[in-house]
Amino acid sequence: MSTLYHELTNFTEWLLGLVASLLDWTKLGFLSDFGDWLQTEPVVTLVATLLVAVIFLITAMMFGLCFIWEERKFLGRFMDRRGTQVGMLGFFQNFADGIKVVLKEHIVPKDSDHALFEMAIFAYLASTFMLFGCIPFSDNFAVFPNVNLAVLLGIAIFSFGPFAILVGGWASNNKFTLIGGMRAAAQLIALEIPLLLCVVSVVVLTGDLSFVGIVSWQEHNIWLIVPLFIGAVTFFVASVGESERIPFDLPEAEAELVEGWATEYGDVRWGLQMASDYFRAYILCGLFTMLFLGGWAGPDFIWAEAWYLAKTFIVFFFFIWVRAATVRIRTDQILKLGWRRLLPLAVLNLFVAIALKLAGVF
């Protein structure tokens, strides 16, 4: 598999080699020694990693902006209005909002735990962006090399988000932020277990913990949304809750908790937190695509990466549809949904996967 890291490592070696050649051309001993040092493996690895991080961050934020734009346009249609109209069908509205957020003043609550207050938001962002490297765009391109346990790694990283939310809510020294953090923790426990069981059912049926292997199995057999339809529906509902979107946005609940756990965050930190929420939604839509919709599988006349992105944006359209068609539910209703509805359905779906595996249907 070709990876962004591999390609940038080759480019870095060529670029640093060119710089070293230019330094040798000066005939100055100390510059030649510096050029030799630039070509050492640790320096090449460091520079390549920094390049990957920069491209990685820019690409991730662009996906978040695209999701924000998609939601604004479709919500406008659902509400019988045109939606945002600022440049390129409204896409430039995102940049206008970004400039406004960057220019805001950063204020830290006086009696808050300053270290945890700052650390929590960046831990939330880091756990979100790390997920981007776990999901390949196709069997020919990924950010990092294919990991045999990529599915398990992605779910493990994803679980750090609510922990950061809880810490941020507590460190803000605000009763509303603390309630928002506690709601996030309760929501995580109620919805993440059914979500994980749905992932386990996919692993049981395909016998693989890598995304490439799962997609390859679906290419040679059938999209898993057909035999594991119950699991697909359960995973979708749990994903909406895990991304804290309406009707499961109790951790924010701006009508009753001001802005929930993020009440005390302002300026660019609040903007990055909101963009990160949309990017987490992209991650969950990408996971749904990989696990149940065949990933990048599709006719060969279109790039595999295009198939993957098209399916992911279609799944997010249903996220938007759910938001437009439903209202926020209570905390007790979320817990009942997770423990009394989704968990039994996820267990049933796991039994279906085991039965299909034992029967040798696939």
Q: What is the pLDDT of residue 30?
A: 63
What is the reported pLDDT for 31? 66
Q: If you ran DSSP here, which 8-state letter would residue 135 be given? A: S
* Final residue of a structural domain among 64, 82, 103: 103
Mean pLDDT of residues grouped by 10 in the chain (362 residues)? 66 77 68 70 78 77 82 85 74 80 79 81 80 77 66 78 81 82 81 89 89 88 92 93 82 70 78 80 89 86 86 92 86 87 94 90 75
Domain count, the chain: 2
Q: What is the 3-state secondary structure (H, E, C) of 217-240?
A: HHHHCCCCCCCCHHHHHHHHHHHH
Q: What is the pLDDT of residue 353?
A: 93
- Of 48, 80, 103, the residue at which a domain comes to its end is 103
Give the C-alpha separation, 24 to 19, whole Å.
Answer: 9
DSSP 2: E
Nearest C-alpha neighbor of 314 from the set 56, 57, 65, 74: 74
DSSP for 319-350 reads HHHHHHH-----HHHHHHIIIIIIHHHHHHHH
Asked if 12 and 130 sit in the same domain, the reply is no
Q: Are residues 115 and 226 located together in one domain of the fold?
A: yes
DSSP summary character for residue 260: G
Residue 217 and residue 347 in one domain: yes
From the CA atom positions of the chain, what is the Rg in Å? 23
* 190 and 94 co-located in one domain: no
Q: Answer for the pair 198, 349: CB distance below 8 angstroms, yes or no.
A: yes
The label of the residue with tokens 């979320």 reads: 334
- Residue 170 is part of which domain span? 109-359
Q: Considering 84, 103, 122, which residue would you say is the last residue of a domain?
A: 103
Helices (H) and strands (E) in the chain, counts: 14, 2
**Do 355 and 347 contact (CB within 8 A), yes or no?**
no
* Tokens linked to 173: 């020294």
